[in-house]
Chains A and B, each alone.
Chain A
Amino acid sequence: MALSKRQRAHAIRAGQYGLLVVVVAALVLTADWEQVRKAFFNTEIAAAMFPNVITVALKNTILYTALGFAFGLALGLVLALMRLSSVAPYRWIAIVYIEVFRGVPALLVFIAIYYGVPIAFQIQFDPLSTVMLALGGVGAAYMAETIRAGIQAVPKGQIEAARSLGMSSARATVTIVIPQAFRIILPPLTNELILLTKDSSLIYILGLFREQYELTKFGRETLSRSPSLTPILIAGLCYLIITLPLGHLSRYLEKRTGGKKISTPESTGLGVSA
């Protein structure tokens, strides 16, 4: 009995659902839930993490991310404009910067700035400046490519209209092109922000005081003093407190801008994770 194309598609889909149910059921039945509960859901340890996990760790994660993102966005915009400049050396500098900082792990950039710069220049950055420069420096390389794609997605007629009204090239870029480019790239930029949030954990390499801990360091430090993995679960949930609204925002913005997506192959990952 030959199945029609539609019947075959139905059969295949039913098979896929069935497989999914079997896999989930197998995982649920074979897991040792008592052990999992002991390892991850120790309410005493969880309670002991408060309020510091919020007032110190979550606050610092947000602070470090915000510093890195602000610096990265500004530098990324400059790099994007250099990348599109008619002046060849600007383009070369931007390309070299982007290739280097997107190619090396963010962790190495943290180390270079915190430990390398003082050796070379007798300038010691404090951790806050380091996280801004390192996180922003790496983020800028990614954001530069995103912003460049956004600028190039602004219709040429917009620039011609601006120029025909007597605006200089620079004026047209600032007043007409960049505001439109940012509207287009808001969703991918939100994505970069989420990636930076997670990479802010790399600051652990600087050796921090207790009040400088962010979520990952805080979770690991608590972990080392407790017989349970609960701190990791709490830290993870705190990351979601930041990233879930951002993801929601990103989808909302995407819908609002009519689903016009600018995808750069580079906007999908950011350095290493700790």
Chain B
Amino acid sequence: MSDVVVEITGLKKSFGELEVLKGIDVRVDRGDVVCVIGPSGSGKSTLLRCVNLLEEPSGGKIVVHGVELTDPDVDIDRARTKIGMVFQSFNLFSHLNVLANLTVAQRKVLKRSEQEAQEIALRNLERVGLSDKVNAMPAQLSGGQQQRVAIARALSMDPDVMLFDEPTSALDPELVGDVLGVMRQLADEGMTMLVVTHEMQFAREVADRVLFMDGGYVVEEGPAEQVIGAPRHERTQSFLARVLDPTHQGPRGA
């Protein structure tokens, strides 16, 4: 079971003069959970957003499930239906209730019947433990609940891979666990996942591989135990020291 789901080669991205990604190579196999860690501004979110072309790469190649997204003639809308995305700020459609949030793209994009879309939506709401919120409006939900609905919305499209862009960073601390729990369960079910996160404990326990990014490069890559547990690179060490113990005065200062 090692067919490639996401293959990124030589990915570059510039915003004007600023080069954010300076040549990234990432490969995610089916069923893999890959966590991307690194300081803010290291380009990890940009990397994730490039994988479904929310950001247009400046160079390099991205292939998802055999479809080259960087081909100018690619049907990007079609390709995106196979790539689930979860945002830091949830981005639930604020004018639609929970059920409609989960069915609207199924109906309009995948052309599923109302009944089929609702069945799939209810199944996925149950997966994230929110069956009782079918008719709620997003504004009536807590941040953690909104994020779980957002995950269920992405899952309802039956994606090949799920991208998580700092999914718990906007949450109150006591709500983080619910969302991480759902993600852990997804990982156990064999979902292919690429996760940008600051949750080191989660990365350590769930990730098959961890990427440490800094300054637009992947500095260190390997099994979670190694990258987080025993980092080889000096920059990884100082980053982890600062994250795991915020009062620690590392070589680069706090």
Chain A positions within 8 Å of B, measured between CB atoms, are 155, 157-158, 160-168, 171, 175-176, 179-180, 183
Contact = CB atoms under 8 A, between A and B. Distances in A.
Contact of B91 (A160, A168, A175, A183): A160
B91 A157 contact: yes
A181 to B, nearest CB: 10
Given A163-B80, A164-B80, A180-B95, A157 B109 contact: no
A165 B110 CA distance: 10
B95 A165 contact: no
A176 B93 contact: yes
A175 B105 CA distance: 10
Contact of B104 (A163, A168, A175, A183): A175
B155 to A, nearest CB: 11
- Which 6 residue pairs spanning A and B have beta carbons closest together? A166-B81, A165-B105, A161-B91, A164-B85, A157-B91, A166-B109
Among B78, B92, B95, B153, max chain A CB count under 10 A is at: B95
Contacts of B87: 157, 160-161
Contacts of B2: none
20 contacts: A157-B89, A158-B94, A160-B54, A160-B87, A160-B91, A161-B85, A163-B80, A164-B54, A164-B84, A165-B104, A165-B153, A165-B157, A166-B78, A166-B80, A167-B105, A167-B108, A171-B109, A179-B95, A180-B93, A183-B95
Contacts of A165: 80-81, 85, 104-105, 109, 153-154, 157
B195 interface: no
Interface residues of B, number: 25
Contacts of A157: 87, 89, 91
A180 B154 CA distance: 21
A168 B105 CA distance: 11
B77 interface: yes
Nearest to A180: B95
Interface of B: 52, 54, 77-78, 80-81, 83-85, 87, 89, 91-95, 104-105, 108-110, 150, 153-154, 157
A162 B109 CA distance: 10
A158 B108 contact: no
Contacts of B91: 155, 157-158, 160-161
Given A160-B85, A164-B52, A180-B94, 13 more contacts: A157-B87, A157-B91, A158-B94, A161-B87, A161-B150, A164-B83, A164-B154, A166-B77, A166-B78, A166-B105, A166-B110, A166-B157, A175-B108
Contacts of B80: 163-166
B56 to A, nearest CB: 12
Contacts of B84: 164
A180 B104 CA distance: 15
Contacts of A160: 54, 85, 87, 91
Nearest to B81: A166
Nearest to B139: A258
B95 A162 contact: no
Contact of A158 (B78, B93, B150): B93
Contacts of A180: 93-95
